[in-house]
């Protein structure tokens, strides 16, 4: 990358105005933060559209934007599997079948749902793993952003790390979950508007979608060591007949089962970071509509971040385009830099500041999401359960837990900063830890799904299933490795039993093994252990024991079922268009 890349006064002006608004929103909410409920649950008062955009925005963190643009260059339109098959069915399922129980049970977090449905130990296990995972994720994305800003803009690593963390801390400390959510909506719009110019300019530069297809064909078919069809990068399902015909290295059934079922349901339906946004909605109908409203922009985000990534691959191979990416080793590019290299390629002073602000906004929406989920789980599921239970004096309790929530916010940010520094020193170990902790999602989905839809499922079975699923995932990761992996971080740290063509395939199978083990064990053990909860205890927590939700009181076009049909229809149309 060239070094003649600096920001102008106008770029800094745009950035400063954004910072002022972000902090201003936190400041304006400060006077409403009177108790723990307001601070940690946003008082359950959010309109569906606000919660829905926050739902998508918190998922659109810096690692997502950087990573998915890079994946656009690496895998082309196949990356959309993470947005369409890998998100939409799970989001619709969450809305239609799971939100009534999460919201209706009055649980304040996903671990608390586990406590109500099963028992204390299942909640404890999930709460502790989730708290660690959340802080790790926050630290790693902070590190990724700071290193990008240092390498590209020459900003001091320490200053950008501390400053961005301080801004997130300020607005989440002041306004709690409400502030995180409102800012996520603002951040959503700035990410879209800030990145839109590179989509338009890169497509215009390369002759539109058809020009892109045309120029990709020779590049793709000449990738050494593979025999990819010329349209592999611009189609989604067409070349998934065999695993070797596409760069993901996974065939259609693997994508369908691994990504479309286990990974996506594990992530979207059980991750408290995501579910918390829907739980903050003002009514049961709004809570169900939250994931559905979020699903609509989610389906179009590929055009914002994947398509420019594909354009970057053409630019990389085009003589005289002036576009370059740093190389890890000769011929192997570091695709994490794709997004910022595109900003540099096309944006003049002014909109450039807006584009950099969009990256900062994506970082903040991700980190604030982590911090606001962490402080809730810490306060309710760890502190209130094991350290200082409620005393009975409601007013004093609320005050006390508000204080604890605030302290947890500060603590979460400090530990995130520490995690970011650990990532800068021991990057591989942090990657490894993140891989390990991401393995809790698949078994967690098995346990929550069985809990919601089978009243026989018992606490002992759920706990064992959760733990065993996690251990099997670990074992699978230790016994298999992706081909060409040079570090033990990628797997095979116990023994080299099996190798996968690419890391993606290994991840899919890890999740499938973990989910299956957890589901089978939970079902088996439920049949031989005694159900300690009566039908009365499980009312509102299990499908068959809960009165059906009727959303007849709202107009037909506001009903969840109507929205779900709209979402699925758009999903099908997009899939067919880019087949």
Binding site for another protein (CB under 8 A): 10, 13-14, 17-18, 21, 24-25, 28-29, 31-32, 38, 42-43, 45-46, 50, 178, 182, 185-186, 189, 193, 196-197, 201, 204-205, 345-351, 354
21: number of Cβ within 10 Å = 13
Closest approach of another protein to the CB of residue 20, in Å: 9
Q: CB–CB of 72/306 below 8 Å?
A: yes
| Of 258 and 353, CB closest to another protein | 353
Using DSSP bridges, classify how beta strands 332-333 and 327-329 pair: parallel, antiparallel or unpaired.
Answer: antiparallel
Alpha-carbon distance of 98 to 453, in angstroms, equals 10
- Cα–Cα distance between 413 and 409 in angstroms, integer? 6
CB closer to another protein out of 87 and 361: 361
The 10 Å CB-count burial string (b at 16+, else e) for 257-294 is bbbbbbbbbbbbbbbbbbbbbbbbbbbebbbbbbbbbb
* Shortest distance in whole angstroms from residue 10 CB to another protein: 6
Are 577 and 94 in contact, with CB atoms under 8 Å apart?
no
Minimum distance, C-beta of residue 184 to another protein, in the bound complex (Å) = 10
Element (H, E) at 298: helix 284-316
Q: Closest approach of Cβ 352 to another protein, in Å?
A: 9
Token duo for residue 12 = 């800094």
Length of the chain: 579
- Residue 183 CB, nearest approach to another protein (Å): 9
Closer by beta carbon to another protein, 545 or else 554: 554
**CB closer to another protein, 144 vs 185:** 185
163, two tokens = 């400053």
Q: Which is nearer to another protein, 114 or 342 (CB)?
A: 342
CB of 254 to another protein, least distance (A): 40
SS3 327: strand
The residue (of 176 and 492) whose beta carbon lies closer to another protein is 176
Give the position of tokens 């009903």. 559
Give the tokens for residue 254. 């693997």
Give the shortest CB-297-to-another protein separation in angstroms.
15
* CB 541, min distance to another protein, A: 27
Q: Which is nearer to another protein, 22 or 125 (CB)?
A: 22
Q: Toward another protein, which CB reaches closer, 14 or 145?
A: 14
119: left (phi over 0), alpha (psi -120 to 50) or beta: beta
Strand partners, 364: none
Shortest CB 273 distance to another protein, Å: 20
Total Cβ atoms within 10 A of residue 534:
9
The CA–CA distances, whole Å, from 354 to 49, 164, 204, 360 equal 24, 16, 20, 10
The dihedral region occupied by 349, where left means phi > 0, alpha psi between -120 and 50, and beta the remainder, is beta
Q: 31 vs 227, which CB is nearer to another protein?
A: 31
């Amino acid at each position: 990358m060239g070094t003649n890349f600096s920001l102008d006064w106008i770029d800094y002006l745009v950035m400063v105005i954004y910072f002022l608004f972000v902090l201003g929103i936190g400041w304006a909410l400060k006077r409403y933060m009177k108790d723990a409920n307001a601070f940690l649950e946003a008082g359950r008062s959010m309109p569906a559209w606000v919660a829905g955009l926050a739902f998508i925005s918190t998922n659109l963190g810096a690692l997502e934007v950087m990573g998915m643009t890079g994946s656009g260059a690496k895998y082309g339109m196949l990356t959309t599997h993470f947005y369409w098959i890998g998100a939409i069915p799970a989001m619709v399922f969450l809305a239609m079948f799971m939100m009534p129980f999460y919201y209706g049970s009055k649980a304040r977090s996903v671990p608390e749902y586990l406590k109500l449905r099963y028992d204390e130990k299942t909640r404890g296990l999930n709460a502790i793993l989730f708290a660690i995972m959340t802080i790790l994720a926050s630290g790693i994305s902070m590190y990724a952003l700071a290193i990008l800003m240092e390498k590209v803009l020459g900003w001091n690593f320490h200053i950008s790390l501390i400053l961005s963390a301080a801004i997130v801390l300020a607005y989440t400390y002041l306004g709690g979950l409400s502030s995180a959510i409102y800012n996520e909506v603002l951040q959503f719009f700035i990410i879209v508007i800030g990145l839109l110019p590179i989509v338009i300019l890169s497509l215009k530069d390369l002759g539109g979608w058809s020009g892109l297809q045309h120029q990709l064909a020779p590049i793709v078919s000449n990738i050494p060591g593979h025999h990819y069809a010329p349209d592999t990068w611009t189609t989604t399902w067409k070349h998934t007949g065999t695993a070797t015909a596409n760069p993901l290295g996974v065939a259609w059934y693997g994508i369908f089962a691994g990504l479309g079922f286990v990974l996506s349901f594990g992530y979207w339906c059980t991750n408290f970071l995501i579910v918390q946004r829907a739980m903050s909605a003002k009514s049961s109908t709004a809570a169900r509509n939250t994931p559905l409203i979020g699903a609509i922009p989610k389906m179009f985000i590929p055009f914002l971040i994947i398509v420019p990534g594909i354009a970057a691959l053409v630019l990389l191979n085009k003589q005289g385009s002036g576009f370059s990416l740093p190389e890890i080793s000769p011929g192997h590019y570091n695709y994490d830099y794709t997004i910022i290299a595109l900003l540099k390629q096309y944006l003049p002073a002014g909109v450039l500041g807006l584009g950099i602000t969009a990256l900062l906004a994506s970082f903040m929406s991700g980190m604030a999401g982590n911090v606001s989920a962490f402080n809730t789980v810490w306060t309710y599921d760890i502190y209130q359960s094991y350290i200082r239970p409620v005393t009975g004096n409601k007013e004093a309790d609320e005050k006390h837990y508000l204080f604890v929530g605030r302290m947890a916010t500060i603590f979460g940010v400090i530990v995130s900063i520490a995690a970011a520094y650990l990532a800068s020193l021991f990057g591989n170990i942090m990657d490894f830890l993140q891989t390990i902790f991401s393995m809790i999602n698949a078994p967690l989905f098995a346990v929550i799904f069985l809990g919601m839809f089978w009243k026989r499922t018992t606490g002992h079975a759920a706990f064992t299933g959760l733990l065993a699923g996690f251990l099997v995932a670990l074992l699978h990761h230790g016994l298999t490795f992706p081909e060409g992996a040079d570090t033990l971080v990628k797997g095979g740290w116990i023994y080299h039993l099996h190798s996968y063509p690419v890391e993606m395939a290994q991840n899919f199978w890890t999740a499938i093994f973990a989910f299956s083990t957890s589901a089978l064990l939970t079902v088996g053990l439920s049949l031989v252990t005694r159900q300690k909860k009566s039908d009365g205890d499980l009312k509102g927590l299990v499908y068959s024991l809960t009165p059906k939700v009727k959303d007849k009181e709202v107009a037909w076009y506001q009903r969840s079922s109507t929205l779900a049909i709209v979402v699925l229809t758009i999903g099908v149309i997009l899939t067919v268009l880019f087949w």
